[in-house]
Structure 1
Amino acid sequence: MNADIEEKRKRFKEKSALLIRELEAWFEEETAPIDGSPAPPAPAGGGGSIIGMRPAIDSKRVVDAARVTRAVLEIELPPEIIKRGGYESCEEMINDLMPKLERVYTGELKVKKRRPAKVAEPA
């Protein structure tokens, strides 16, 4: 293995506890009801509900966790490593993203670089 990759892997492991705590806090904030009330119980019966079939957080919202990866790892959260459809729980999200983020951080997994958005010039 390349010594540079090993050094980056070591730094990632040092930052991983903080990264997990920050992702857990972000997930809790993102999935909390707007009015602060507890989530309603699942509907009774065998028919189910369309609400019960949705993930706790969808993949498009997970992209917003980039603020966590920028703060802790100083990298973007590449959308292509996020599981399509989203995650049923915070644990599922962390278990899926952590190994992928490590590979992005070390450079073992190449992802597309995002171009900065163009800012309109004032009139």
Structure 2
Amino acid sequence: MSADVEELRAEFKRKATLLVSELQAWFDEETATIDGTAPPAAPSGSGGSIVGMRPAIDSKRVVDASRVTRVVLEMELPPEIIKRGGYANCDEMISDLLPKLERVYTGELKVKKCRAVKVPEPA
């Protein structure tokens, strides 16, 4: 393993606390109800409900978390590292994405399109 990879890994670890915090805030915002009330309970009955089977957030919406990775890691969130179907909760999302993001950040995991983005400086 080259020194560059180790340096990038150390840099990622320094940014990881902020990344987790920002991803948690993003997840909470994305999964909150529009009017701020608790989501309705699943219909009762013996047939079950599709409502109880849905993930808290689907994989297509997780792509929007790129706004977090752009600011913290200065890179897009590669769609191919997101778990198909989405995540049942924030902990599951972070547990799945963090190791993959670290590997992409260090260059150990190659993705189709992961370019650095320039974060605009405050005016």
Residue 12 of structure 1 corresponds to which residue in structure 2? 12
State the identity as a percent. Answer: 75
Deviates more, 1:39-48 or 1:55-64: 39-48
Distance 1:95 1:114, change over 3 A: closer
Give, in angstroms, the shift of residue 46 of structure 1: 3.6
Give RMSD over aligned pairs. Answer: 1.3
Correspondence 1:71-90 to 2 at 5 A:
71-90=71-90
State how far apart, in whole Å, the 2-side matches of 1:47 and 1:91 are.
29
**Structure 1 letter corresponding to 2:95:** N
- C-alpha contact (below 8 Å) 2:77/2:114 kept by paired residues: no
TM-score for both structures, normalised by structure 2: 0.89
Residue 104 of structure 2 corresponds to which residue in structure 1? 104
Task: Please state if 1:63 is matched with 2:63.
Answer: yes
Deviates more, 1:94-103 or 1:39-48: 39-48
Aligned length: 115
* Consecutive unaligned residues in structure 1, runs of 5 or more: 116-123
Q: Deviations over 1:53-95 (max 9, x none)?
A: 1100000000000000000000110000000000000000000
* Consecutive unaligned residues in structure 2, runs of 5 or more: 116-123
**Structure 2 letter corresponding to 1:44:** S
Distance 1:33 1:67, change over 3 A: same
Give, in angstroms, the shift of residue 14 of structure 1: 0.3
Residue 36 of structure 1 corresponds to which residue in structure 2? 36
Tell me which stretches of 4 or more aligned residues in structure 1 moved more than 3 Å: 42-46
TM-score for both structures, normalised by structure 1: 0.89
